[in-house]
Structures are given as structure tokens and as C-alpha cells.
Structure 1
Amino acid sequence: MPYNILIVDDDTELQKMLKNYFRLRDYQVDTAIDGVEAVEKAKSNYDVIILDVAMPGMDGIEVCKAIRESVECPIIFLTARSEEQDKINGLLSGGDDYILKPFSILELEARVIAHLKREERHLNRNKVRDGFVIDYVKRAVFVDRQEMELTKIEYGIIEFLSMNPGQVFDKERIYEKVCGYDAEGDSRVITELIYRIRKKMEALSVEEHIVTVWGMGYKWKK
């Protein structure tokens, strides 16, 4: 069964090129020209969304925030911006990945495939400890049956570390694994995300699960 992709970009030439490329590779492709149309179309069931950041009116960051509560699929940002804060904002808004323009279409496809493979993993076990449950199938975390409010990338950090308890990973390794592609890790993003996860756990009176190993990185407490 072919994968369904939504491509959102106000650059009609780029949109057409991406559409033709992915269709030739047997993907089902839909497109949107602006943020408003993207929010409406995102209500359908897509396997991945390729989303331009710099669009007039409602930009990609706003679109991502608007749809993330109801859309579980990977969202890959296309951006001409290289500033670190723009990348951080994209990931914190619920995005899973970003690629800088101009880009190699082969690299974009590789990232799409990497995210699709991650989504297809059928994990059939949960991790449970004193009312704290990580449901790897639902990709959710529960505390005394109450679901924690986590962004997709925050859950990804919990999943990765918890599946490798006791092992220490530096920020670059965590970033690479969670974002699903080879790139230099963005230490600032991981530090901020782990801080947010800890605050959410603290608010629900959850014991410390993510341990800082000074000078080395982080690990999940066994």
C-alpha cells in the first residue's frame, strides 16, 4: 500500500517538482499552497507531512502547532533559515525534522523513509513502574492512568532512553536517534527538551527517571 504524503509550500515550482518525484516513487501525494489549506487537509490521514516554514500569512510553525494535537504523523520542515533558534522553534512546535533549502531531493527522500520506518515499528511491550507506564504501541506515557502531555519529540526521548536503561548517551546521539537522521546533534535542543520532560514529570509527582551523567550525557534509571 503506498504511503500518503502532504506537501505544503507556496513555491509552486518546488511543490510540483516534489510532487512529481514522490509520485514516480509510488507515493500518494497531496499538496497545499498555504497554511490555511494545510490545516484543513491535515485532517486527512497522511503518513508524513513536508511543511515549508516561510509562507505568507500562517507560516509553517503556526500550522504545526495547529495540527499537532490531532496529527500523529512525522512533520518535516523545509526552511531557508539556518539560525539555531528557528530550528529549535520548529522542533518544539511539534516538528520531527527539518532540512535547509536548497536541499538534495535524495536526502529529503532518505529522511522521509527514515521517519516512516520508525513509525512502522510494532513495539508490543510496555514499561511499567509504580503507576508510571510507557505504552510503546500508543506512543504515550501515563501516570496513574492519566496521560502526560508530551510533544512527539519529547516522547521520542523518553522512548529511546527507556528502551536502553542504564546506558549513557550524549546529547548528539540522542538528537540523532530521536530526529531519525545523521546530523550533528543540537545540544541546546536536547537540554531544553529534557528540562521540559522533567518539569512535566515533577508536576505529576513522578520520580526522577532521566539521570544526568555530568560530562557525558543522560541515561534512564534502571
Structure 2
Amino acid sequence: MNHILIVDDEEDLRKLLSDYFEVNGYAVMTAKDGNEALRKLEKQPDIVLLDINMPEMNGLDLCRKIRSFVSCPILFLTARLEDADKISGFQAGGDDYIQKPFSIHELGARVEAHLRREMRNRQKSSVRFSEELAIDYSERALYGYGRHIPLAKKEFDIVELLSAHPGMVFDKERIYERVWGPDEEGESSVIAEHVRRIRNKLKEHGCEGWIETVWGVGYKWRKSSAVFD
């Protein structure tokens, strides 16, 4: 049974979503604000629905606060859907946007799609690309000189895609389609921002140069003599 956390300050909406997902076989937790959500998140839900416009701590701030210890998909619920808002949400660590008012059946389908991607079979081996960098695909973990490099879900998805095909060039549109799904409209600025954040984290751990830019095309993972552990 999948566990879902619904965070929204509107009581009627929490009740509507709670009833829908319970009927569809989910174990549902709800929270009316960021502080209550933080307590519920200790139970490690499989997916989070998160309203952006909440008092005291908004959804973007909460997402930034929890991304270091929550790896599950986070879907924003919002009445705003400008490009700048999308980018802010993805920068905060969100995985998708659901615009209010929404079809509850479309929301259910989106949740199911994210959970299917989350549960898809992962490569079961750990790959060491050099003495400095190792990736454990089964644990979805990246290590620099033996130290864990924390990545948001979509950041690891991009690393996984590129590193599984060293030397192959992926344009931004293809990366977006493979990571976010074919039904989403891609924004090249979103991919560029995620790659920038990944590079900064690699640099902080002394592991630079693994994601190479192919100007005018996209990105590729640097070729090396990978070792499977």
C-alpha cells in the first residue's frame, strides 16, 4: 500500500483528496500547515501533495526544508503556473505541478504515474567511475571520495540517465521527456538549472567535470573506465 501525505490549509480540499485516495487504496496522512507536515514526514510517505500558498511556511519553503531527507516525489498544488513559478518549484526540489482547479481523476493519474516511475526496476549494481566517484543505482545514492552527495530526486534521475550512457549526448528536450515523462512540456531552463545544481554539488565534493556540455545540443556523461562492484 502506498502512503500519501496531503499538505493543504483548505480543510474541504484535504477531506476531498483524503476520501479519494483512501477509496483508491492509499494510506493517507494529512497536514494543514508546514509544521504539522514536518511531523508527518517522519513516517516517510511514498509521495507528497503540497500546496504552495500556505500561511507561515509556504510550500516552496517547506519543500526546500525537507528535500535533504525526503526523496519521494513531491507534487505542488497551486493556482499559479507561470514559467517563473515552475522554475522556482523545480529549484526547490519539486517534481511536478498540478494547477488548481484540477480534475481529481487527472491528479490520481499523475500520482500513479510518479509512483510507477519511482518503483521501476533499477540497475542493481554499484558503479565506480573512478577513485573519486561512485553511484549506487539500487540505493539511488551518489558518493564522492566515499562521502554521500545529497541529490534531489530529479537531480539523481538526470545523473542516472546520463551516467548509464557515458559519452552519449542527450539534448535538453530528451532529458526532460525521459526524466519528467512524455506528457510534460519541457523547459530548457529547467534542465539547465538542475544540471547547474548537480555540478555545484559534485564540485563541493571534489568531483568536477563529469557532466560535459555539448554546446548547442545538450549534455553528456564523461567517458571513463567504469568498474562494477
Normalised to the residue count of structure 2, the TM-score between the two structures is 0.88
Query: Which position in structure 1 is the counterpart of 2:130?
Result: 130
CA shift for structure 1 position 155: 1.5
Stretch of structure 1 that moved more, 104-113 or 75-84: 104-113
Identical columns (%): 51
CA shift for structure 1 position 23: 1.3
Stretch of structure 1 that moved more, 207-216 or 10-19: 207-216
1:155-193 deviation digits (Å, cap 9, x = unpaired): 221011112333322212212322346211111111122
| Aligned residue pair count | 221
Please, which runs of 5 or more residues in structure 2 have no aligned partner?
Answer: 224-229
Aligned pairs (5 A) from 1:15-30: 15-30=14-29
CA shift for structure 1 position 115: 1.8
* 1:12 partner amino acid: E
Query: Which position in structure 2 is the counterpart of 1:193?
Result: 194
Query: Which position in structure 2 is the counterpart of 1:141?
Result: 142
Please, which runs of 5 or more residues in structure 1 have no aligned partner?
Answer: none
SS of the counterpart of 1:72? coil
* 1:213 partner amino acid: V
Aligned pairs (5 A) from 1:27-46: 27-46=26-45
Cα separation, partners in 2 of 1:201 and 1:69, compared to 1, 3 Å: closer
SS of the counterpart of 2:43? coil
CA shift for structure 1 position 32: 1.0
Q: Distance in 2 between matches of 1:149 and 1:28?
A: 28
Q: Distance in 1 between matches of 2:28 and 2:205?
A: 41
* 1:46 partner amino acid: P
Cα separation, partners in 2 of 1:181 and 1:26, compared to 1, 3 Å: farther
Does the CA-based 8 Å contact 2:7-2:37 persist in structure 1?
A: yes
* 1:71 partner amino acid: V
Q: Distance in 1 between matches of 2:198 and 2:66?
A: 21
CA shift for structure 1 position 104: 2.3
Q: Distance in 2 between matches of 1:185 and 1:130?
A: 32
Q: Distance in 1 between matches of 2:29 and 2:182?
A: 24
Q: Distance in 2 between matches of 1:9 and 1:180?
A: 26
Q: Distance in 1 between matches of 2:53 and 2:120?
A: 32
Query: Which position in structure 1 is the counterpart of 2:90?
Result: 91
Normalised to the residue count of structure 1, the TM-score between the two structures is 0.91
SS of the counterpart of 1:119? helix
Q: Distance in 2 between matches of 1:196 and 1:100?
A: 26
Does the CA-based 8 Å contact 2:134-2:142 persist in structure 1?
A: yes
Q: Distance in 2 between matches of 1:168 and 1:105?
A: 38
Does the CA-based 8 Å contact 1:111-1:180 persist in structure 2?
A: no
Does the CA-based 8 Å contact 2:47-2:72 persist in structure 1?
A: yes
Does the CA-based 8 Å contact 2:98-2:107 persist in structure 1?
A: yes
Does the CA-based 8 Å contact 1:61-1:90 persist in structure 2?
A: yes
RMSD: 1.8
SS of the counterpart of 2:30? strand
* 1:31 partner amino acid: T
Does the CA-based 8 Å contact 1:39-1:66 persist in structure 2?
A: no
* 1:221 partner amino acid: R
Q: Distance in 1 between matches of 2:10 and 2:48?
A: 16
Q: Distance in 2 between matches of 1:73 and 1:158?
A: 17
